[in-house]
Structures are given as C-alpha cells and as structure tokens.
Structure 1
Amino acid sequence: MLTTTLSFANLHNHGELFANMLRARHQLFIEHNHWDLPHAMGMEYDQYDTPASRWVVVHDEDGKVLAGNRLTPTTASCGIYSYMIRDAQRGLLATIPEDLLYDEAPVAPDVWESSRLFVSHDVPANRRRSVHAWLVKELANSARGLGATSCLTLLNANWPRWAGRVGVDMTAMGPVMEIEGVNNQVVAMRFGETRH
C-alpha cells in the first residue's frame, strides 16, 4: 500500500490519482450508498474540494484507489461556505442537522476537518480493516504535517468499537444523530501524541 497526500500544488505529479480518488468516491457515495451529491464525468465532488483542502489517498502501485479522505482547514472560506461541519451547524446543508455539535464549531489554524473518509467498495472484506487503519494513520501524519493538533469528523456512531485499533485519541463532540438511516456523530481526533 502506498499513500499520497494530494494538494492543488502537486496534483500534476501524480497522474490520474486525484481523478481516480473522485471516481472511487462516486462509486461508493453515489452508486453504492445512493447519496444525492454533485458529480460529473463519473466523479463525485462538492464545494469543499478547493485549493484549501488536501486529500490523503491510499492506493496501489498502479494508482488504484483503496481509500481516501479530505482534510480542510477550519479557517477555510469559499463564498458562503467554510467547512462541512460548521456549515451544517450554520444551517447551510439541508442533509445534516444543525444541532450536530455540543458547542460552536471551531475556527482555528490547528484544527482541521476530516471529511469524505472512505474505504473503496472494491477492497475485499479481509483487507478492509487494515486499509482503514492505514488510512487513519496516514491521515494523522498528514494533518500533523499541516500543523493540525486535531481534526473534527462526522463518523458512523460505531466509532468507539474501532477507535483503539487505529491508534488515535477520539472524543465525541456532538450527539448521535440519524442521517439517511445511519447513526452518525461528530468526533474530534486528537493528534498530540500517537497511541500504539
């Protein structure tokens, strides 16, 4: 497994990897999960896929995407948008409840948002756990490299069952809520120290 952290500054060095990651997101989120999301040319994207974001992509030597994630600074802004969790709290996203956080969404240079975390539907069941753990480890490394001490993320509420396995300190930041038939919760992943 290889990991590449993509940015608009280095996309040109990695061939089709960025497009392949957006295609993998399309396959999982739109084709498999049937989410109503923007897409074009078989690629899923949204208003947060901007030059402010980074994308951590786990892939093989041939560029086949196994897993991915988007990192967005909580200080980002693009028109009326900032980052997904904050925009949901501000009532800008119809599909995510406004009361997803206990407190006001942070805006700080050392806090980033982790979103669109996925393991490709094509990854065999016997490899999914290791690919997921590898992605979260590399996400933490990339976030630290960007100056983040923590990331907010909206996850399946089953996160306490696997948090210890991925070696990241995680804390609930909001209530469990149902979104499209799945229980979700905002969680803070803290990267001050790596746990093993």
Structure 2
Amino acid sequence: MQTTTLSFSNLHNHGDLFANLFRARRQSFIIQKNWDLPQADGMEYDQYDNPASRWVAVHDGENHVLGGFRLTPTTAQCGIYSYMIRDAQRGILGGSIPQDLLFGEAPVDPHVWECTRVFVNHATPMAIRRRVHMTMAGAMTRAARELGATQLVALTDAKWPRWYGRCGVEAEAIGRVMWIDDGEFQCVSINLASKMH
C-alpha cells in the first residue's frame, strides 16, 4: 500500500493515478452516495479541484486507488470561491451545506488547510479497510505538515469520535451536527501541532 501526494505540478509523474483518483471519487460520491456533483469523462470534480489544492491517493502501486482526500489552503481564492467550509458559511454554495455549520468564523490562515472529499473506494476489500483508514490518517498528517499546516478543518461524518482516536487523529468539534444529503455531518478541527517534529 502506497500514498502519493498529487499536485498540478507533479501529476505528470504519476501516470493515470490523478484521473483514477477522480474516477474513484465519482464512484464513491455520485454512484454510491447518489450526491448531485459535477462529473465529466467518468470523473467527479468541483471548483476546489484547482492548482491551490493537493490530493492524496492511497493506492496499490499499480495506480488502483484504495482511498483518498483533498487538501485546500484556507487562504485559497479563485473568483468568488475560497474553500468549501468558508464558502458554505458565506452562503455562496446555494444552500447545499447550511450557513451555520461553524460555531465561529471560518479561518483564513496559511497554517490551516481544509480536508475534503475523504473516501475509501467501495471496491477496497473489507479485510484491509482498517489499514487503509490508518494509512489515510498518517498520509493526511504527513502531507499537511509538508504544506506547513498546523491545523486542518473538515466537514466529516458526525460519527468521527468513534474512529478519529483509533487512527491517532486529535480533533474537536467546531460546529453543530447537521443533516446533509444522506447523513449527519459536523465540522471538526484537527490539531497537527503535536505532530510537528
């Protein structure tokens, strides 16, 4: 099992891994969860898939994606968009995510990044799913640290307390539990300061 951090500047070095990540996202979010998201050529994408973001793929070394996620700086700006949580709070996502998702103001800080589009491929065998989760948690910490982040913010499944601790992730709620599309979600802050060594 391998992890690769992808960016617009290095994707040419990784064959079809970048496209396969977006194909696996489509399978996870559009096919499995039935979310109404943009897609093209069998890939799911949105306005935050731009050169400011990074994508981490957990894969088998043959470019078969087992899971992944996206990291976006909270300082990002592209037209009217910044990052998903902040844009939802500002009301520019059309109400698909409630504006009152955070207890306070969405951060804009070079040391705070957002983690989104977290998934485990539906085809990943149950026997290795826990290992994939652990690998993703480690990859999230390493990739964010390399980008200079001391904190991540994420809109995640509201059951996060059950498994974040098991994966060694130190997190706290920064918003209320909300029903969105097909389940309960909550914004969390993930502390990476203790991992900065």
My pick for the range that moved more, 123-132 or 112-121, is 123-132
Q: C-alpha separation between the residues in 2 aligned to 1:157 and 1:185?
A: 5
Question: Which residue of the partner structure matches residue 129 of structure 1?
Answer: 130
Q: C-alpha separation between the residues in 1 aligned to 2:83 and 2:48?
A: 7
Are the counterparts in 2 of residues 168 and 194 from structure 1 also a CA contact under 8 Å? no
Are the counterparts in 2 of residues 57 and 67 from structure 1 also a CA contact under 8 Å? yes
- TM-score, structure 2 normalization: 0.97
Question: Which residue of the partner structure matches residue 148 of structure 1?
Answer: 149
Matches within 5 A, 1:52-131: 52-93=52-93, 94-131=95-132
Q: What CA deviation, in whole Å up to 9, does each residue of 1:90-114 have, x standing for no partner?
A: 0111210000000000000000000
Q: C-alpha separation between the residues in 2 aligned to 1:140 and 1:116?
A: 16
Give the letter aligned to residue 107 of structure 1: V
Give the letter aligned to residue 45 of structure 2: Y
Question: Which residue of the partner structure matches residue 17 of structure 1?
Answer: 17
Q: C-alpha separation between the residues in 1 aligned to 2:116 and 2:13?
A: 24
Q: C-alpha separation between the residues in 2 aligned to 1:133 and 1:158?
A: 16
Give the letter aligned to residue 188 of structure 1: S
Q: C-alpha separation between the residues in 1 aligned to 2:52 and 2:134?
A: 25
Q: What CA deviation, in whole Å up to 9, does each residue of 1:2-32 have, x standing for no partner?
A: 0000001100000100000000000110011
Q: C-alpha separation between the residues in 2 aligned to 1:147 and 1:181?
A: 34
Question: Which residue of the partner structure matches residue 191 of structure 2?
Answer: 190
% identical equivalent positions: 59
Q: Mark the CA change 1:181 to 1:61 in structure 2 (over 3 Å): closer, same or farther.
A: closer
Q: C-alpha separation between the residues in 2 aligned to 1:154 and 1:5?
A: 21
- TM-score, structure 1 normalization: 0.97
Q: C-alpha separation between the residues in 2 aligned to 1:61 and 1:142?
A: 18
Q: C-alpha separation between the residues in 1 aligned to 2:186 and 2:127?
A: 26
Give 3-state SS (helix, strand or coil) of 1:187's partner.
strand
Superposition RMSD in Å: 1.1
Q: C-alpha separation between the residues in 2 aligned to 1:80 and 1:37?
A: 19
Question: Which residue of the partner structure matches residue 47 of structure 2?
Answer: 47
My pick for the range that moved more, 101-110 or 127-136, is 127-136
Q: What CA deviation, in whole Å up to 9, does each residue of 1:98-155 have, x standing for no partner?
A: 0000000000000000000111011122221210121111111000000000110011
Q: C-alpha separation between the residues in 1 aligned to 2:165 and 2:76?
A: 30
Are the counterparts in 1 of residues 155 and 188 from structure 2 also a CA contact under 8 Å? yes
Give 3-state SS (helix, strand or coil) of 2:72's partner.
strand
Are the counterparts in 1 of residues 33 and 182 from structure 2 also a CA contact under 8 Å? no
* Structure 1 unaligned spans of 5+: none
Give the letter aligned to residue 70 of structure 1: R
User: Structure 1: which 4+ aligned runs deviate by more than 2 Å?
Assistant: none
Give the letter aligned to residue 33 of structure 1: K
Are the counterparts in 1 of residues 73 and 112 from structure 2 also a CA contact under 8 Å? yes
Q: C-alpha separation between the residues in 2 aligned to 1:185 and 1:137?
A: 21
Give the letter aligned to residue 61 of structure 1: G
